[in-house]
Amino acid sequence: MDDDWFRSPEDTSESYGKYISAIYRHMQILIAAELAPFRIGSGQYIFLMTIAGKERITQKALSEELLIDKTTTTKAIAKLEAEGYVRREPDPVDNRYNLLYLTEAGRAVVPKVQEALDQIRHKSRNGISDEEYVFMLGMLKKVLRNVNEQVRNGEQQS
Amino acid sequence: MDDDWFRSPEDTSESYGKYISAIYRHMQILIAAELAPFRIGSGQYIFLMTIAGKERITQKALSEELLIDKTTTTKAIAKLEAEGYVRREPDPVDNRYNLLYLTEAGRAVVPKVQEALDQIRHKSRNGISDEEYVFMLGMLKKVLRNVNEQVRNGEQQS
């Protein structure tokens, strides 16, 4: 990454997409480094944290919630299960489906993962005021709503 | 993705990271759908567009510029080469290195890819004024500068 990334003037025709992609890739690298001691990969932490917020979720619902395909979801859950952080149990209502839970170890690791994520975020907010941060969040939510609508429209057409 | 994503209040403790990740994943889905007719995957277009902006770039420099690991870069370039969009030539100065160029077909497809990306971006800017957009760009650049610094610091330590 050279200085071109930062030197370009801010104009309305410039793409925010390249910044989103670049921030995303940087965050994945930082998260991978921070979570390596817990044997949690940059592709798995998001599943762990979502299950922590919504226990008894099915793998299908998790996949839909995060908009991550089934294969990737299955692999990530298998990894988290192998590391002893997540367990699957048949749904008592319909045993064709499995519900996802955190294990004891999973519950114990969640605050540590949260702390690591908070630290990365804190450093990345350097030079950005609270007001600016809230404004940026609002913009990102608008963009997400718009792209989410585009994806839904695409799904209806196909 | 359910309404929780949009319902949460905007406060300074909320993580922008989950929005960046979600926007990134949505964009990858939209880009994959738009570029499928050209047989360009969501993981390849960024290499194509970067080579278009910097011909005679080496694979190593491309990898560093985009902060994407060597293996992923090699695979993406091999795919773009197989599709006839990119060619490699030994550097006349030092033939241990290959320089990357667009082929005729590559040059022809770039404006079409750009158009598809512009359309996705245009739709995703719905309800966001030019002023807001420029402000958001400025914030994203600040965040990127901060995470880029964190990654560099991490590299020095390791």
Q: What is the pLDDT of residue B5?
A: 67
CB contact under 8 A, B126 and A146: yes
CB contact under 8 A, A145 and B6: yes
Structural domain contains residue B6:
no
Q: β-strands A86-90, A98-102: how paired? A: antiparallel
Do A103 and A139 lie in a common domain?
no
Q: Is the pLDDT of residue A3 over 80?
A: no
CA–CA separation, A71 and A89 (whole Å): 19
Do B70 and B118 lie in a common domain?
yes
Of B21, B24, B141, the CB nearest to A6: B141
Q: Domain holding A22: CATH number?
A: 1.10.10.10
State both tokens at B30.
């939209």
Q: Is A104 on the interface with B (CB under 8 A)?
A: no
pLDDT in tens, B16-65: 888 999 999 999 999 999 999 999 998 899 999 999 999 899 999 999 88
Do B95 and B141 lie in a common domain?
no
Q: Is the pLDDT of residue B92 over 80?
A: yes
- Please provide the distance, in angstroms rounded to a whole number, between the alpha carbons at the two ends of chain A: 37
User: Residue B22 class from Cβ within 10 Å (0-12 exposed, 13-18 middle, 19+ buried)?
Assistant: buried
CA–CA separation, A31 and A144 (whole Å): 22
Do B31 and B89 lie in a common domain?
yes
Section B117-141 average pLDDT: 92
Do B109 and B41 lie in a common domain?
yes
pLDDT in tens, A142-151: 999 999 999 9
CA angle in degrees (0–180, nearest 5) for A125-A129-A134 = 85
Structural domain contains residue B83:
yes
Q: Is A144 on the interface with B (CB under 8 A)?
A: yes
Residues whose CB is less than 8 angstroms from the CB of residue A153 and which lie 6 or more positions away in sequence, other chains included: none
DSSP string, chain A: --THHHHS---TTS-SHHHHHHHHHHHHHHHHHHHGGGT--TTTHHHHHHHHHSTTEEHHHHHHHHT--HHHHHHHHHHHHHTTSEEEEE-SS-TTSEEEEE-HHHHHHHHHHHHHHHHHHHHHTTT--HHHHHHHHHHHHHHHHHHHHHHHHHHHH-
CA distances from B25 to A122, B1, B64 (A): 23, 12, 22
B63 lies in which domain range? 15-124
Do B145 and B72 lie in a common domain?
no
CA–CA separation, B27 and B48 (whole Å): 17
Q: Is B36 on the interface with A (CB under 8 A)?
A: no
Strand arrangement, sheet containing A98-102: A57-58, A98-102, A86-90
Which residues on chain A are in Cβ contact (under 8 Å) with B70?
none
Structural domain contains residue B157:
yes
% of chain A surpassing 90 pLDDT = 65
Q: What is the nearest CA distance from B43 to chain A, expressed in angstroms?
A: 11
Of A12, A27, A139, the CB nearest to B17: A27
Do A65 and A94 lie in a common domain?
yes
pLDDT in tens, A20-50: 999 999 999 999 999 999 999 988 999 999 9
State both tokens at B132.
């807001």
Do A98 and A133 lie in a common domain?
no
pTM listed for this prediction: 0.85
Q: What is the pLDDT of residue A69?
A: 84
Q: What is the pLDDT of residue A149?
A: 93
Do B109 and B144 lie in a common domain?
no
Structural domain contains residue A9:
no
Q: β-strands B57-58, B98-102: how paired? A: antiparallel
At B141, the pLDDT band (50, 70, 90 cuts) reads very high
Q: Is B148 on the interface with A (CB under 8 A)?
A: yes
CA angle in degrees (0–180, nearest 5) for B152-B153-B157 = 115
Structural domain contains residue A29:
yes
Structural domain contains residue B7:
no
Structural domain contains residue A2:
no
Of A15, A23, A117, the CB nearest to B144: A23
CA–CA separation, A88 and A81 (whole Å): 8
Number of domains in chain B: 2
Q: Is B6 on the interface with A (CB under 8 A)?
A: yes
Q: What is the pLDDT of residue B68?
A: 84
Do B120 and B133 lie in a common domain?
no
CB contact under 8 A, B14 and A137: yes
For residue A67, the tally of other CB atoms under 10 A from its CB is 16
What is the total residue count of chain A? 158
Do B112 and B84 lie in a common domain?
yes
Of B26, B68, B132, the CB nearest to A148: B26
Section A111-132 average pLDDT: 92
CB contact under 8 A, B23 and A147: yes
Q: Is B152 on the interface with A (CB under 8 A)?
A: no
State both tokens at B52.
């278009």
Structural domain contains residue A133:
yes
Dihedral of the alpha carbons of B31, B120, B58, B86, in degrees to the nearest 10? 60
Q: What is the pLDDT of residue B112?
A: 95
Do A62 and A129 lie in a common domain?
no
